[in-house]
Chains A and B, each alone.
Chain A
Amino acid sequence: KAGVTQTPRYLIKTRGQQVTLSCSPISGHRSVSWYQQTPGQGLQFLFEYFSETQRNKGNFPGRFSGRQFSNSRSEMNVSTLELGDSALYLCASSSLGGRDEQYFGPGTRLTVT
């Protein structure tokens, strides 16, 4: 099976812009989660989608949003970028979420200048 893929792998944006990140889960997986990884904070949960519905959301401002399509692919959007949004954004898929193992993508490195 092909692993979780994320595009783009690297992105440089300026403050105030918006960005959309994409994640393709493992075939057959219906749960997709997004995380922000930074050296100081570790992995911070952003949200989880399951069958096109947001099932859970972390403590991030409304500038962070996401969606999932019928083929389970997911996108994450960050509007009005701030310098502090610079991070590695990880996507993970699992069969059904819940207590299943998560499979992580390589991440998208976002740099905000």
Chain B
Amino acid sequence: DTAVSQTPKYLVTQMGNDKSIKCEQNLGHDTMYWYKQDSKKFLKIMFSYNNKELIINETVPNRFSPKSPDKAHLNLHINSLELGDSAVYFCASSQVYTGEKLFFGSGTQLSVL
């Protein structure tokens, strides 16, 4: 059983389009995250949710809108995609939001053309 699963694995799209990435965890964790890994491999947090409540929004453009329908799901919607959005997006979860170890999904490679 995959603990943290995200779809799709690959996403190729044109500039200006809107796209979504879905994430689900079956670990019973309270906290979920979105991380972005750019071409230089730097992994940076974007958002975190604890029990469906937004905890962290790391000055991400408001074109990015996370949605957490329940604590097992955290989806990421991106409006008006730009070239600079091309990256690998990782979903992750942890038991609590105070520095507990993370479990990652396998990543979504987003390519904006």
Does A pair with B?
no
Q: Which residues of B contact A (CB under 8 A)?
A: none
